[in-house]
Chain A
Amino acid sequence: QMQLQESGPGLVKPSETLSLMCTVSGGSINSRSYHWGWIRQAPVKGLEWIGNIYSSGSTYYNPSLKSRVTISADMSKNQFSLKVISVTAADTAVYYCARITITSTGWIAFDIWGQGTMVTVSS
Chain B
Amino acid sequence: DIQMTQSPSTLSASVGDRVTITCRASQFINSHLAWFQQKPGRAPKLLIYKTSTLESGVPSRFSGSGSGTEFTLTISSLQPDDFARYYCQQYDSYTWTFGQGTRVETK
* A contacts, CB < 8 Å to B: 37, 39, 46-49, 52, 60-63, 96, 100, 105-111, 113-116
Choose among A37, A96, A108 the residue that contacts B46 (Cβ–Cβ < 8 A): A108
**Bound-complex Cα distance A46 to B85 (A):** 9
- Whether B34 contacts A63 by the Cβ 8 Å rule is no
Q: What count of chain B residues pass the 8 Å CB interface test?
A: 23
B97 adjacent to chain A (CB < 8 Å): yes
How long is the Cα–Cα vector from A54 to B45 in the complex, in angstroms? 21
Q: Which of B34, B45, B95, B101 contacts A109 (CB 8 A)?
A: B34
| A111 and B46 contact, Cβ closer than 8 Å, known pairs A49-B98, A60-B95, A62-B95 | yes
One of B60-68, B74-82, B86-94 contacting the partner: B86-94
CA distance A105 to B53 in the complex (A): 11
Query: Which residues of B have CB within 8 Å of A115?
Result: 43
Which residues from chain B sit less than 8 Å from chain A, CB to CB? 1, 32, 34, 36, 38, 43-46, 49-50, 55, 87, 89, 91, 94-101
In the complex, chain A residues whose CB is within 8 Å of the CB of B95: 49, 60-63
Q: Cβ of A96 and Cβ of B55 under 8 Å apart?
A: no
A111 to B95, CA, bound (A): 17
